Every structure is written in structure tokens, then in C-alpha cells.
Amino acid sequence: MHFLDQAKIFVRSGAGGGGAVSFRREKFIEYGGPDGGNGGKGGDIVFEAVPGLNTLIDFRYTQHFRAPRGQGGSGSNRTGAGGEDLVIKVPIGTQILSEDKEHVLADFTRAGQREVFLRGGDGGRGNASYKTSTNRAPRQHGTGWPGDEAWVWLRLKLLADAGLVGLPNAGKSTFINAVTNAQAKVGAYAFTTTRPQLGVVRHREREFVVADIPGLIEGAAEGAGIGDRFLGHIERCRVLLHLVDANDADVAESFRVVRDELAAYGAGLADKPVVVALNKIDTLDEELIAALSAELEAASDAQVIPLSGAAGIGVDWVLDRLLDAMSEESAPVAADDEGEDELEWSPV
């Protein structure tokens, strides 16, 4: 299934049915009178967030949604049937934006959330409702209120607890494959990941969701590379895991490039808690790993975890740090009583 996180659609609620003009014609009743019923209400446009969906691809092929109108009233004071509501099912994490993308009109963050987006028009009044003491045989009636319509954008922001960021080919896909069953594509070239990936991590008897997005390069905020359009998928993450390739010529500069792009994007990404890991250390000796870690710590002002997703080195340490960052407790998640700073790694 193709991944699509933005789609533009047209929605229109149903118009109300017209009221009826009718008069009683019954045997043995000397005076009849008006008995035209009201029209039925038009159908609403309703959005519902459902589990099991993680793409908006269906809206590429179906872009117009119109709710049915209400039925007209009839004699004997019979009200017309109301139009059925049109329920549009969207993935959890979907936002509805105005046509100019300036305003968020609705935000679906939990399964089963339903919102009436456009209300159907009310039905018109039948002539029976116009009867007065001075107007005993009215012939006027209402035609029904029109429905509302709008062009809107659907934007999907995946819901995850932790988000992976880094330059292209920093080992993000390898890491998510090592800790989840996401089966992300891995290759020895840049931009192997072309769409966001989600995976569920089970660690220390807890579960959390990790999101992997395409790599960022310098100038991504201006559209370089794949750009920053996928950064919206980590806006709701509670913590970021920043992976830096140990084979880069300047690990400190690699770290700064990504941090600058996060700051340029905004939405509070640069202010989120971050865990920094020096990845692909299985190709280096201990002395070089220590030197690169010290250099990266000076640039990030944070403890750096030596990591190799391919060899499994430091993976548990990273997961412990992520759990600790997401937890409200101050104590580390590690099973022993020692602080996480004293956890050791050893090359294989």
C-alpha cells in the first residue's frame, strides 16, 4: 500500500427537503384544511478516526464527498425522511485544514473520535405550519435550507512516542529493524527511506511506538533533498533519538546540520528531549569511538551513547534512555540499581 500523508478533498452536506403544500380531503369532514408536512433534514458530513489505517491513499482516488439531501414532506402531516449522514473514515492522527492550510479545523488523536464537520440543511416547512386564525388555507411552503460545502486538506501526522532523526544513511532504518518488526528498507545509499515507518518496541515489559522519517540534509527547510515535509510526523513524539554516523568526516557538524533543520522547521521540535547516539561503531576501534563520542558530546551538550544497530551494541542502553525520557519518574528504567550513566558497552 502506498503512503500518502496529504490529500485535498471536497465535502458537501445534504440540503433540506422541501415542505409540502397539501389539504385534507376526507369524506364527512365539512372543512378540510392544510396538512402539508415538513421536509427532512439533509445528511451531515462526519469524520471518524479509525484504527488500522496509516495512509490517506484512498483520498487520492475519491476526492468528492456529498451527503444525500432530505426528502420532501407530504400530505397527512408526514415529514420527509432525513438524509443519511456521510461518515468519512480517516487514520488516527489526521488533521483537517482549511483550503489555504492556515487553520486547523479538526484534529483526530484517538480511535473512535467523531466530529460533525458540516451540518446538513434543515427541511422546509409545510403549509400546515403556516396556518393561523386569519390564514386558514395557506399555500406557502419552505424549500429547505441548502447544505454547506468546502474544499479542505487532510494532513496525517503519525502518532509515535519516539522519533528517529539524522542525516541520510545514519542507520535509522537498521535501528528500527533491530528493535521492531517494521522491516524498513535498508541500503548503502542516501535516502533509502522515502516515507515514514512505524514500529512497536517491547522493552522492559513496556511498549512504545517509534517513528522513522527520511533523512534530513542541510537546506531541507528550503526543500533540499526530500525536504522537511515529513517532520510533521514527529511533532507529537515525546522524545527524539538523534543518530549520528560514526563514519562521517565531522560528527559534530553532522549533529549541528540536523539540529538547525529542526529549529528552522519550528513546531517545538528543537525543544523536545533528545537522546544522542553515535551509530555504526562496530567498524571502529575503542580509541576512535571514545574520541568521536567526546567530540559529539561537546557539540550536543548531552551524553552520547555508542551504538551499532547492525551488531546490537548499545541497543538496550538506548531503549532504556528512551523509556527514561518518556517516563515521569526520575529513576532510570535499567533493571539494576546503578545509574544509566554507568552502563558499559563492549565491541563484539
Please enumerate, by residue number, every residue annotated as part of a binding site for Mg(2+): 173, 193
Q: What is the DSSP string of 305-327?
A: EE-BTTTTBTHHHHHHHHHHHHS
The Cα–Cα gap between 78 and 90 comes to 37
Instruction: Detail the residues annotated as belonging to a binding site for GTP.
Output: 166-173, 212-215, 279-282, 308-310
**109 grid coordinates:** 488523536
Q: What is the DSSP string of 8-75?
A: EEEEEPPPPPPPP--B---TT-S---B-PPPPPPPPPEEEEEETT----THHHH--EEEPPPPPP-BT
State in Å, rounded, how far the first CA of the chain is from the last one.
38
Per DSSP, 78 falls in state: B
Which positions ≥6 away from 44 have C-beta within 8 Å? 13, 14, 67, 85, 86, 116, 117, 118, 119, 120
**157 grid coordinates:** 501526522
Residue 23: Cβ within 10 Å count: 15
The Cα–Cα gap between 299 and 37 comes to 76
The Cα–Cα gap between 323 and 302 comes to 17
Handedness of CA 250, 255, 256, 260 (dihedral sign): positive
Instruction: Detail the residues annotated as belonging to a binding site.
Output: 166-173, 193, 212-215, 279-282, 308-310
Q: Cell 533523512: give the residue.
A: 215
Alpha helix segments (H runs only) across the chain = 58-61, 172-179, 251-265, 286-300, 315-326
